[in-house]
Amino acid sequence: MHAAESQTPRNRYALVSHWHLDASIERVWDAIYAVEAWPRWWKYVLAVVELEKGDDRGVGAVRRYTWSSRLPYRLTFDMRSTQVQRPNLLAGEAIGELTGTGVWTLAAHSGSTQVRYDWEVATTRAWMNALAPLLAPAYRWNHGQVMAAGARGLAQYLGVRLL
């Protein structure tokens, strides 16, 4: 597991996280797709509330996420599901205190599953934007910590090893 990151202009971030779980792609997909259950296994996800139902695959669904983090702040944003291709791709658009796109890509690998998460977002809170020149490295570190906790939590939830 590792996260790579790059910073684009000031308040915009392009972050990539990789997880590798010793579980079938179907089990990993089911857990990631069931976003309302994330607070059970992802310690930084405080709440996920469905605001709008999507189609039969979930495309168009809108959920409000509230996240805590290693740093002393919380973020809330809505995420609209834009693509659902079971069991390989789940994508959405965020709007709120973070605005941008998130894409989960899953690939089966010899009975295990490799997960990639691409998060391209901008912060919208005035204080975060004002402090971005100084705190951008801390924001990126924080994202890495939150994602690492998600990987550990998912592995524990599934009862499998994080590879």
pTM for the full model?
Answer: 0.92
Short-list 71, 59, 32, CA closest to 48: 32
Looking at the DSSP bridge assignments, the partners of residue 63 are 50, 79
Give whole-number Cα distances, 88 to 26, 56, 105, 159, in Å. Answer: 9, 17, 6, 21
The domains of the chain, with CATH numbers, are 2-158 (3.30.530.20)
Average pLDDT, the chain: 94
- Return d(Cα 37, Cα 48) in angstroms, integer: 8
Give whole-number Cα distances, 123 to 37, 65, 76, in Å. Answer: 25, 15, 11
Looking at the DSSP bridge assignments, the partners of residue 112 are 109
Q: What is the pLDDT of residues 35-57, one digit of tens each?
A: 999 999 999 999 999 999 999 99
Q: What is the pLDDT of residues 89-131, one digit of tens each?
A: 999 999 999 999 999 999 999 999 999 999 999 999 999 999 9
- Return d(Cα 69, Cα 127) in angstroms, integer: 17
